[in-house]
Amino acid sequence: MPRKSTRLTFAVLATGAGVFSMLQSLVAPALPTVQHALHTSQSNATWVMTAYLLSASVFTPILGRVGDLTGKKRTLVAVLLAVLAGCLLAALAPNIGVLILARVVQGVGGALFPLSFGIIRDEFAPSEVSGSISNLSAVIAAGGGVGIVAAGPIVSALDYRWLFWIPVGVVAVTVLIAARYVPESPKRAEGSVSWLGAGLLSAWLVALLLPLSQAGQWGWASGKVLGLFGTAVALFAVWLLSEARSRNPLIDLRVMRLPVVWTTNAAALLFGAGMYALWSFLPGFVQTPSAAGYGFGASVTASGLLMLPMLLAMFGSGILSGRLEPRVGAKALLAAGAAFGALALGLLALWHTAQWQIAVVSGLFGLGIGLAFASMANLVVGSVPPEQTGAATGMNANIRTIGGSIGAALTSVLVTGRLQPSGLPYASGYTHAWTLLALFCLAAAGAALLVPARRDRRVTVPVTERAAAAPARVR
- Pairwise CA distance, residues 367 & 315, whole Å: 8
Q: Is the pLDDT of residue 169 over 60?
A: yes
Are 203 and 235 in contact, with CB atoms under 8 Å apart? yes
Q: Is the pLDDT of residue 466 over 60?
A: no
Q: Is the pLDDT of residue 467 over 60?
A: no
Looking at residue 102, what is its pLDDT?
Answer: 95
Looking at residue 436, what is its pLDDT?
Answer: 95
Looking at residue 216, what is its pLDDT?
Answer: 77
Q: Is the pLDDT of residue 460 over 50?
A: no
- Pairwise CA distance, residues 392 & 378, whole Å: 12
Q: Is the pLDDT of residue 288 over 70?
A: yes
Q: What does DSSP assign to residue 2?
A: -
Looking at residue 395, what is its pLDDT?
Answer: 87
pTM, rounded to two decimals: 0.82
Provide the pLDDT confidence category of residue 461 given band limits of 50, 70 and 90: very low
Looking at residue 366, what is its pLDDT?
Answer: 92
Q: Where are the domains of the chain?
A: 6-193+250-468, 194-249
Provide the pLDDT confidence category of residue 4 given band limits of 50, 70 and 90: low
Return mean pLDDT, the chain. Answer: 86
Provide the pLDDT confidence category of residue 434 given band limits of 50, 70 and 90: very high
Of the two residues 296 and 46, the one the predictor is more confident about is 296
- Pairwise CA distance, residues 23 & 8, whole Å: 23
Looking at residue 362, what is its pLDDT?
Answer: 93
Where are any strands of DSSP class E within 48-158? none
- Pairwise CA distance, residues 405 & 59, whole Å: 17
Please classify residue 61 by burial: count the beta carbons closer than 10 Å to its beta carbon, then call 0-12 exposed, 13-18 middle and 19+ buried.
buried
Looking at residue 60, what is its pLDDT?
Answer: 87
Provide the pLDDT confidence category of residue 459 given band limits of 50, 70 and 90: very low
The set of residues, in sequence order, having a beta carbon less than 8 Å from that of 330 and lying 6+ positions away, is 130, 374, 375, 378, 379, 382, 460, 474, 475
Read off the amino acid at residue 460.
Answer: T
338 phi, psi to nearest 5 deg: -65, -35
* Strand partners of residue 425: 419
How many residues are there in the chain? Answer: 475
Report pLDDT digits (tens) over 197-245. Answer: 889 988 998 999 889 888 878 888 899 999 999 999 999 999 999 988 8
- DSSP letters, 329-372, are -HHHHHHHHHHHHHHHHHHHHH--SSHHHHHHHHHHHHHHHHHH
Report pLDDT digits (tens) over 60-109. Answer: 888 988 888 888 999 999 999 999 999 999 999 999 999 999 999 999 99
Report pLDDT digits (tens) over 306-356. Answer: 888 998 998 899 888 888 888 888 999 999 999 999 999 999 999 999 999
Mean pLDDT of 361-384: 90
Looking at residue 213, what is its pLDDT?
Answer: 81
> Which of 163-172, 279-288, 303-312 is predicted most confidently?
163-172
419 phi, psi to nearest 5 deg: -115, 150
Cα 256 to the center of its chain, rounded Å: 19
Are 374 and 467 in contact, with CB atoms under 8 Å apart? no
Report pLDDT digits (tens) over 233-279. Answer: 999 999 999 988 888 888 888 888 899 999 999 999 999 999 888 88
- DSSP letters, 163-174, are HHHHHHHHHHHH
Looking at residue 252, what is its pLDDT?
Answer: 84
- Pairwise CA distance, residues 274 & 210, whole Å: 19
Report pLDDT digits (tens) over 111-160. Answer: 998 899 889 988 888 888 888 988 888 888 888 878 888 888 888 888 88
Are 79 and 109 in contact, with CB atoms under 8 Å apart? yes
Mean pLDDT of 362-388: 89
Cα–Cα distances in Å, from 450 out to 445, 454, 469?
A: 9, 12, 20
Q: Which fold has domain 6-193+250-468?
A: Growth Hormone; Chain: A; (1.20.1250)
Looking at residue 472, what is its pLDDT?
Answer: 40
3 state SS of 425: strand
Q: Is the pLDDT of residue 189 over 80?
A: no
